[in-house]
Structure 1
Amino acid sequence: LSIIRSCVKAKTVKKLVYTSSAGTVNVEEHQLPVYNESNWSDLDFIYSKKMTAWMYFVSKTLAEKAAWKATTENNIDFISIIPTLVVGPFITPTFPPSLITALSLISGAESHYSIIKQGQYVHLDDLCESHIYLYEHPKATGRYICSSHDATIHQLAKMLKEKWPEYHAPNQFPGIDKEPPIVSFSSKKLTETGFEFKYNLEDMFKGAIDTCREKGLLPYSTINNHKKNDNFHV
C-alpha cells in the first residue's frame, strides 16, 4: 500500500502491475476442476485449518484485496498477475520459497506434498515476460492468471524419476489418492490477449535443478532422500 500511496502522491503513475499468488484463488475446502480470475480463497477455511503456508495465503489475499480497493479509489489502472507455483532458474543465493515446495519430492519436505497434490506450474521466465507484456498491452486490465501446466503429485513424481532417477523421488504418498483429479488454473484471459508460453514442465525443473546444483544447494544424487533431507540447504 505504501507503493500505491507513493503513486498517488506522484500524480504521474497511470498503471500499476502487481504480482499476486495462486494462494489468493483456490485455497478452500473443496477444489473446483477449473479456477479463473473470479475466484478467491476462503479465508475462514484457511484460518480454521492453518495448513502449511497458511499465513502466506492470508497475507497475499488480504494484500491484493487492499490493493484493489486503493487503486480503484485513486483511479489507477491496476493489473494483478496471479502466478501458480513458479519454477525455473534463479539468481538468489538460497532456495526461493516456491522451490522449497516444487522440489519437495527431491528434498523430502513432506509437509509440502499437500500443496503439490494437485499442482499448477509456470516457468519463471514466462512469468517475467507476462509482466512486461501486460504492462505494455493497451487494453490489459484486471486480474490475469499466469499458469502453463497442471500436474498431480503422482505425475510429477513420475517425471522426476524418469528424468532425474538419481534423486529417488518417492512414488507412495500416504493420505493422497492414487489418482487425484486434475485442478486447472485457466490462463485463457492471458492467452486471448496474444501471450504465448514458451516453456514446458521439464524445462522448469531442469532450470531449477541445474541452478541448485551450481549453487551447491542440491546434491547430485541422493539415497532415501524422502526420509532424510540433511544435505539440502534451504
Structure 2
Amino acid sequence: MEDDSKYSTAPAYCVTGATGYVGSWLVKSLLRRGCKVHAAVRDPAKSLRLLSTWNGGERLKLFRASLQDDGSYDEAVKGCDGVFHVAAPMQFDVHESTDECVHSNIIDPAVRGTVNLLKSCLKSKSVRRVVFTSSVSTITAKDSAGNWRDVVDESCHTPIDHVWKTKTSGWVYVLLKLLTEEAAFQFAREKGIHIVSVVSTTVGGPFLTSPVPSSIRVLLSPVTDEVDMFRILSAVNSRMGSVGVVHIEDVCNAHIFLMERAEAEGRYICCAESCPMSKMIRNLAKNYPQSNITRLADQENESVPAEISSKKLRDLGFSYKHGAEDIIRETVTACLDFGFLPPLAT
C-alpha cells in the first residue's frame, strides 16, 4: 500500500466534473503532484474505470454531488484548500425550443448550480480560492463595429445579446459559459470568495474518458465529417479568425498554476497557439491523410486576423509545453488507439 504519511501536509483540492475530459486529467495531474483530491461526480459507479488511471491511493476520495442539489457539495469541499470548478453541461444547440425554455431548462439550472457550489465553499471555511473553467466561447475577436481586433485579450467579451440574436452553432454552450462565469464572479465579489477563471481554448491531446470528448470531436471534425461538430469549429473560426488550441496537459497545468499563484486575479486566456484553419487542416492531413481534407485546406485563408493572446498568463510566469503540431498529432494518435478513427492504410 502507498505510504501517505509524507503527504499529510499536502494541499487538498476538490475537482467538480471529475469524470469529464479536463476534470479527469486534472485529478490525475494533482495526484501526480502529491496533492489530496476530492473528486466530485454525479455517479461514482461511472468513475470506476477512471480509478485505475488516477491511481491515487488514500489521497483520492470520491464524492457524489450534483450542481442542482442545494448543499450536495458541502462534504466534497469540506477541508479543501481550493476548488476547481470544471463541471459544466455540454449542451451546444437546442432545436425547436423557445428562448424562455432555454433559460428555464438549461441556463438557469446551470447558474443556480454554480452558486450552490460557491455556497458550499463559503460553508467550508477552508476554501481559499476557486478556479473556474471558462471557455474561449466567451471571447470574440471582433469589436462592436464587427471589425477584427489585432489582439484578443480577456476583456473581449462576446456580447450576450448578440448570442441570443444570431444563435450560431454552439450558441447554448456560449450562453452557459458567459452567464455561469458572470454569476460566479458576482457571487464571489459579494461574499468575499477569491475566484479566478481559465478561459480555455479548444483542448486536444490524449484523454482518459469514454466516450471521446466533445472538444476532440470538434478538432477532428474535418476528418470525421461530423456535420454538427464541424459547424461548431467553423463558428469558432468565424468568431475568432482562427482556432485557438491548447494541450490537455497545459490547460490542467494552467489551472494548478493559477490556484497556487497568490497574485492571480480575474480571467486568464489559456491558448498555446492561434491556429489558422488552413494550418490546422494541413496538420490533420499530415497525421491522418485524406484527400478531402487537403481540398478543405485549399479553401481556407492563410491570414490570422487576430492573435488570441495568452500574455496575461505568460506574464505571470506560465509556459506551455505543447504547440499546435503536438496537439494535433497526439489527438490523432489517441483517437486511433481508442478506435474512434479507422486505422490508417499501410
Global fold match (TM > 0.5): yes
State the secondary structure of the residue aligned to 1:165: coil
CA distance 1:55–1:100, shift in 2 (3 Å): same
Paired position in structure 2 for 1:231: none
* CA displacement at 1:25 relative to structure 2: 1.3
Paired position in structure 2 for 1:192: 315
Letter of the aligned partner of 1:39 in structure 2? Answer: C
Instruction: Measure, in 1, the Cα distance between the counterparts of 2:237 and 2:317.
Output: 29
Paired position in structure 2 for 1:15: 129
Q: What is the correspondence of 1:215-234 to structure 2 with a 5 Å cutoff?
A: 215-221=338-344
Letter of the aligned partner of 1:18 in structure 2? Answer: F
1:14-58: CA deviation from partner (whole Å, max 9, x where unpaired): 211111000111176554232111121111111111111000001
* CA displacement at 1:220 relative to structure 2: 1.9
CA distance 1:201–1:20, shift in 2 (3 Å): same
Aligned equivalent of 2:181, options 59, 64, 67: 64
Paired position in structure 2 for 1:205: 328
* CA displacement at 1:180 relative to structure 2: 4.7
Letter of the aligned partner of 2:325 in structure 1? Answer: E
- Structure scoring higher RCO (CA < 8 A, sep ≥ 6) equals 1
* CA displacement at 1:166 relative to structure 2: 4.8
CA distance 1:148–1:3, shift in 2 (3 Å): same
Bigger drift between 56-65 and 164-173 goes to 164-173
Aligned equivalent of 2:149, options 28, 32, 37: 32
State the secondary structure of the residue aligned to 1:140: coil
State the secondary structure of the residue aligned to 2:312: helix
Letter of the aligned partner of 2:168 in structure 1? Answer: M
Instruction: Measure, in 2, the Cα distance between the counterparts of 1:171 and 1:83.
Output: 29
Paired position in structure 1 for 2:268: 144
* CA displacement at 1:140 relative to structure 2: 1.1
Paired position in structure 2 for 1:126: 250
Q: How many residues align?
A: 221
Aligned equivalent of 2:232, options 82, 98, 112: 112
Aligned equivalent of 1:6, options 95, 112, 120: 120
CA distance 1:147–1:111, shift in 2 (3 Å): same
Question: Hey, which bits of structure 1, 4+ residues long, moved more than 6 A?
Answer: none
* CA displacement at 1:182 relative to structure 2: 3.5
Instruction: Measure, in 1, the Cα distance between the counterparts of 2:121 and 2:252.
Output: 22
* CA displacement at 1:214 relative to structure 2: 1.5
Unaligned runs of 5+ in 1: 223-234
CA distance 1:69–1:161, shift in 2 (3 Å): same
Q: Is the 2:288–2:332 contact (alpha carbons within 8 Å) kept by the matching residues of 1?
A: no
Bigger drift between 159-168 and 117-126 goes to 159-168
RMSD: 2.1
Q: Is the 1:104–1:112 contact (alpha carbons within 8 Å) kept by the matching residues of 2?
A: no
Paired position in structure 1 for 2:89: none
Among all aligned residue pairs of Structure 1 and Structure 2, give the percentage whose two residues are the same amino acid. 30
